[in-house]
Structure 1
Amino acid sequence: MVLKVQSIGDVLNRARPALLLLSASLIPVIILAAAMGWFFVTAQRESLDNDIRVKAETIAATIQRELDTQIQLLSVIAESPRFDLPITRSSFAETARRLRERVPGWDQIRVSDEDGNVALSLPPLETSSSRRVIDLESYTRLLATGQAVVGNIVIGTKGRPAFAIRVPIERNDKIKAVLSAVIRPAMVTNLLRASGLPDTWPAWIVDGQGRLITSTGPTELAGKPETEFAGFSGTETALATLKDGGELRVADAVLSQTPWRVKVGIPMAEYDALANKALVFVVAGCCFTILLAGAAAALLQREVNFRNRERESLANWQRMDALGKLTGQAAHDFNNLLMIFQSGVEGIKRRRDDEQRVTKLLSHMADGVEQGKAITRRLLSFSKRSNQSAAHIELDTKIVEFEPLLRQALNDTIVMDVSVRGDLWPVRADPVGLEIALINLLTNAREAMPNGGRVYIAATNIEDGASEDGALRGQYVALTVTDTGKGIDSANLTRVFEPFFSTKDNGRAGLGLTQVHSFMQAAGGKVKVTSLAGHGSAFTLLLPKSDAPRARHGDESGNFDLPKTILIVDDTPASLESVRFALEGTVTTILTATGGVEALAILEDRSDIEAIVSDIMMPEMSGIQLADAVARKYPRLLIVLMTGYSDKLEAGLEIDRPVVGKPFKIEELAKALAAEASKSVDLSNVVRFDVNSKTS
């Protein structure tokens, strides 16, 4: 017996190093498994938290879009002429009835005065006690801000919950009344239940006062405090308890333009079960991870490197292809221009004494310069953002620019005639809005002439007091679009700008003419319509005259004042020499500098310099910085900037200096110097320069 025990002890002693080695090797495995288990459990829970948060944000975005749609629709109605005060009951009733037919979710449509009294309602109010707005908080907020609002949920006089969407009825920038659409929570409930949430995930929406708007639970809780559905324990907003006792993990999202909040919860049992299930799989897979980690890492790294190379190669190919197309087209256009200059240079070399031929070649080269400038402007337009605000518009040139696009709004069976006088006043309006308005009018004319016809576009100046109804005072330009279509009956003529109103044979309603009406209101003008059934219609846009001076076009002659001594600053030698050469014979003394520092040094030594012409893009000191430094020390000096391209100017930087774009004519530089000189106090030390005189 003793021998047997000793034999087992000997075996254990001999096996101890192997057991120690096995234990040592298992320790890191256990630590790794524990770390990976903790990591995967944490990741699983974070994934669940992210899921409910994304669900809440998605539902909030969906509801916000629906509310925005309702607000936009209600705003369009509020701006229509039918809601110009005073509003007749019959007109309101007809419009409200049609709106309720098209928007079933609108339970009531009301018009209220500034004191919160309901003046008009459909369906009509049954008692005098209900003629007072219940949700005064949102009503007061609208009157204070002038913006459309979504109200809180309230319990009506009949005990039914509802919320209101309110928009102001503004005329002449003043709130005259408030248009409201009363909506039952069922609309929001349908969106909530159609959001694709799992059946076990509850969701609910509360307003800014903590009242329940709707939920995936009982609908009779709408309008009651949130605690009637779920309560939160302490300050922990991520944990909630349902009224029936179920515990939830909760995420919420705020609607972007309302005080409403969307809350989505997942049962804690489901939250923990998924995490535990992930932990089991992690532990089971830990053994395989040890064996496959190296191979998987190598394969993953290889695959990642391969995909990175493939993606980079594809991106480079796409960039090169796009760049090749762009540069190819630009190279084609510029090579054509270079051919003009090359031919001109060769022709002048061979026949310098042939003045007629030299003059013709120089004319071709000058045209080539203008074409090059146009190509450059098109290329630079890719870096500019469109400006849709009101601007100075000269209709005689703008209509010509619009004409190809306007013709596309018609079809081949319709002839378009444009008659725009050259002495039209400039107007001030949104160019993009004007383009859209004209396209809408031409589209309307096309639909009125299914078998073809003719469209006339004409414009004329309207003097003060020419408006028949006296609503507009001042000077306007009347832009008229006339068609030879089927026309509009006199009974419908006053309704063509109403939303949803249409005389189309298919009965489809559009908002094209309503957009024209809104554009003209924003522009401070007015749109008028005249029509004779069977003979066509005429829409006239009365656009306010612009106070800005009209631009001068064509070859204009005149005298421009040039200083006697000019300093030219440019870091490009060829450009510097070109400007100097252009001014020779017209300016007495021309000085040059290759940078801002050198220019300031020259100014220290020369007191007779009267003007500086500087490039903008220069190293060390830009032309803008040089102009600021010169203006501080030498305020009487005239400063004109020149540039071929400036990223600051393209980004919208405003410079209080004249800027001429390279390449420029001597006349353009002379006009810029004259414009700068007009702001100076001392203009006596100048010489007269006639741009029509010939210089060698």
Structure 2
Amino acid sequence: MDHPASPLPAMSVEQRYRLLVEAVTDYAIYLLDATGHVSSWNAGAQRFKGYAEGEILGSHFSRFYVDEDRQNGLPARTLDTAAREGRFEGEGWRQRKDGTRFWAHVVVDSIRDAQGQLLGFAKVTRDLTERRETQQALERARESLLQAQKVEAIGQLTGGVAHDFNNLLMVIVSSMELIRRRTGDDARLQSLVSTALSAARRGASLTQRMLAFARRQELNPVTVDALALVLGMRELLRQSLGPSVRLQLPTGQAPLHVQVDESQLELALLNLAVNARDAMPDGGSLTISVQPSVIKPLPGAASQPLPAGAYVCISLRDTGQGMDEATLARATEPFFTTKGPGKGTGLGLSMIEGLALQLGGRFVLRSQPGVGTTAELWLPAASAASALPKAGAEQVTPTGQGLQILVVDDDELVLSSALAMLEELGHRALGAASASEALQLLRSEPGVQLLLTDHAMPQVTGAELIAIARREFPALPAILASGFAELAIGQSPVTAHRLVKPFGLETLETAIARAMMPNPHP
């Protein structure tokens, strides 16, 4: 048998209102008198503002506002608006009893009697801190995604442009070297050729920066002691910084091994040092440190800036002008520079960031105007057992005889230049513009002794061509030429010597001699 609900005891309207307000805990609901002093207080207000009713009644409501809003007169404007228009609504920071801040949504309604006389205000406040943080996190995620998509698009474009530019430089370098061999003792012509070659090498350096930004530069990672590398750059850094900058280097530490391309890391550190020098036109100090660090997993985190593991952090801290937040946010953007025309490409920091990411690390910048900038290069630590002693410079003797070499490149100009270079070195060269044409020549020309192929070709890449050719000709030596690392580090599907574009006669001759050694080791 159902029993009817017990009716509420007889209460006045005021009692019912108070019971209702006291039952609400998600909102701060309270009354103010006409001057803004608190005249009632509910459980919700106590819950997230921290004041008990006895310690807040009679206090002016402005005590809930942060200092800057009180100084700007926001509490008075709030009441003026509510009195004039009947309601005020807004959001902003408010302050709890313990001094912590929360983001509040506030509604203030004026209360008037039957004659329209202002009696006071009803104020309702809701804590939106969690919702605001969630929205901001979502906005940051969206912004990061858009930035990543933009950088990826620019990276693809940059990588493609740099690849084509490398091919053009390849033609220029090879042609200039062939011309130099034929100018004889003409000092004027030799000087012009040398100038052209220097410009081409500068262009090659620029493409390396572009490819580093795109994370597609050719790397030769080896295990090196990062501390020893930094200390070995002492004189180079001092000469680059000049007498007005005091250089402080780390001392007395154990070896700290990383797996890096040594020359690329040296270039990155030199670039950072020069940036620090430029930020200290009146002099200052640059402190370089090399420290081990362990990144631990973040509990409950779907991702984190760096995977958990052991790292080596190379830090460069200057006392220069520093950067404001807007400049710092764009510092690693490609082609962004604060230097004057002709004084910077805007690719230096992009190159360093690309290098760090390609090696599985991270590049971090911190800066404050008037204080200075700290640049940190985080690289995965390598096992000391994997560090091999450096051998002396490899002595490679030219073959001394003409070889029959098959050259494969889909770029007609590059192919023509490579053929001319091989003929200049005394070899017999055959040319093919595609993998299919190359395979036909290999089958019809049994005398081919070496395969030299570009990697980035349509349909069938150079690496795939070598793999196919090796099925029919297992002992065929091969050289894989590339302007950038289309193949992941250490994951080449074929055994072949690597030749980085643009290359000159001497580099080509050395590569051929190395490939033709009895027991070649690419």
- Specify the TM-score bucket, using the shorter chain as the normaliser: 0.3 to 0.5
Instruction: Work out which structure has the larger RCO, using CA pairs closer than 8 Å and 6 or more positions apart in sequence.
Output: 2
Which TM-score applies when normalising by structure 2?
A: 0.38
- Bigger radius of gyration: 1
